[in-house]
Structure 1
């Protein structure tokens, strides 16, 4: 039984190593943890206090949260009100989101973050604190509408989070990434997205329809190999497409 478990773990990590992009890594990761009830993942390095909302998204490494949540999160300035982020920066013990509810019960801003997350099917979660080799605090969260975590499952998710996070850094920072060419209009739409504008606002600023703005941003996501707008902005910063 132990040998079989080790073989399964080794096979999953081999699959992570074969992933040629962050998007492919995310699909592989979800394929594995989805069997445990996890519906989405989100991971990144915690920005230092005072980091602008535009630059906060550049710290995201993995994002498979429901459509619209990442954009809502950063546009609303939730990062430093988020009780899970506060916990990450003060305690490096993995935790379920329900564990910290007593700590933010009387904090209206923190409650709002968690309530809005629930509106996006992120009612329950498990967050694993991580430390990079240069001493930066990072977090890896698994979310779902509902799932139960046994002690064994918590340990398993910690192991998977550590390996997947390391692999995401290699894929994000590695020198082998192919060049990406954005059209001037795609670049302009991406720039406005980095500034936190909605698709409607981008359309107004670019004198095009909201659908036209969405089309440009879809093209950007496809070229960058990302699944969400926040992840596209983060990847664009890493590639030097945004300053």
Structure 2
């Protein structure tokens, strides 16, 4: 995993306020070359008070968007509710057929420099949906190439970000989460904070081999292939925290 992502994970675990997390997100995405983004967390058919927004979109567009309640017709939001897979979009490229109002909305956004982008949806166990959208007005081919280069890191950033923001206001713990032992949770917890297996072994006073054993068990129970994926899933299931 690259240094930018490793630093993001380490710094994220030390931030417990929304403004601090937003500044970290801005700095991290800017290092990857994505200065224009929007993070949105909401409960479908829920209360507007339960919505959280972080964005670098032009303030004039954000004000216009909110004043006109464009979220009710936004095709990016509508698509995010129905899928967990990242998707690319633009006024002339979308996964689903757009209504005239939705086409008009994307055309209007392009006037503010938001011409195309990619959105990473997140669905958590408490019924909330979050989206991390990276947008651009420059060359689509260059933008798509940059997204492809960092797609794994960007997906994990979205998951880690959402999990830490939930920790600011702890959610109800789902009874359907996978059952990990205390030692397995501990090993994942330290991995989430950027510690290696050797570091963790020294912290919890066991051998590195024991840490690897418990980490592998956690990966198997969570149905993933890597430690990073195990941490991400552990965060989503509220098994561990940042």
- SS in structure 2 opposite 1:101? coil
Alpha-carbon separation, structure 2, partners of 1:96 and 1:145: 14
Please give the alpha-carbon distance, in whole angstroms, between the structure 2 residues aligned to 1:20 and 1:102: 36
Tell me: CA distance 1:60–1:127, structure 2 relative to 1, closer, same or farther (3 Å): same
Gaps of 5+ in 2: 171-242
- Structure 1 counterpart of 2:40, from 36, 39, 44: 44
When Rg is computed on C-alpha atoms for both structures, the one with the higher figure is: 2
| Offset, 1:135 | 2.8
Q: CA deviation at 1:131?
A: 1.2
- Kindly report the root-mean-square deviation, in angstroms, between the aligned alpha carbons of the 2 structures: 2.6
Q: Please list, as runs of the form range in 1=range in 2, the aligned pairs for 1:136-175 lying within 5 A after superposition.
A: 136-146=128-138, 148-150=143-145, 151-171=148-168, 173=169
The reply to whether residue 130 of structure 1 matches residue 122 of structure 2 is yes
Distance in 2 (CA, whole Å) between partners of 1:58 and 1:73 is 18
Distance 1:72 1:56, change over 3 A: farther
Q: How far apart are residue 163 of structure 1 and its match?
A: 1.0
State the Cα distance separating 1:37 from its structure 2 match. 2.5
- Do the aligned partners of residues 31 and 63 (structure 1) sit closer, same or farther apart at CA in structure 2, a change above 3 Å counting? same
Distance 1:13-1:158 versus aligned 2 partners, 3 A rule: same
Match of 1:81 in 2: 73
Does the CA-based 8 Å contact 2:4-2:31 persist in structure 1?
no
Aligned residues: 165
Deviation of 1:13 after TM superposition, in Å, equals 0.9
TM-score of the pair, normalised by structure 1: 0.59
Residue 81 of structure 1 deviates from its aligned partner by 0.9
Inter-CA distance 59–84: structure 2 relative to 1 (3 Å threshold): same
Deviations 1:145-178 (A, max 9, x none): 235133232222111111112222223x26xxxx
What whole-Å deviation, never above 9, does each CA across 1:151-210 have from its counterpart, x for those lacking one? 232222111111112222223x26xxxxxxxxxxxxxxxxxxxxxxxxxxxxxxxxxxxx
Aligned ranges 1:206-217 → 2 under 5 Å: none
CA contact (8 A) 1:43 1:61 kept: yes
TM-score, normalised to structure 2, is 0.59
Shift of 1:94: 0.3
Task: Could you list the structure 1 runs, at least 4 aligned residues long, displaced by more than 4 angstroms after superposition.
Answer: none
Q: CA 1:169 to 1:121, structure 2 compared with 1: closer, same or farther past 3 Å? A: farther
SS of 1:127's partner is: strand
Q: Is the 8 A contact 1:83 1:100 kept in 2?
A: no
Flag the structure with higher helix content: 1
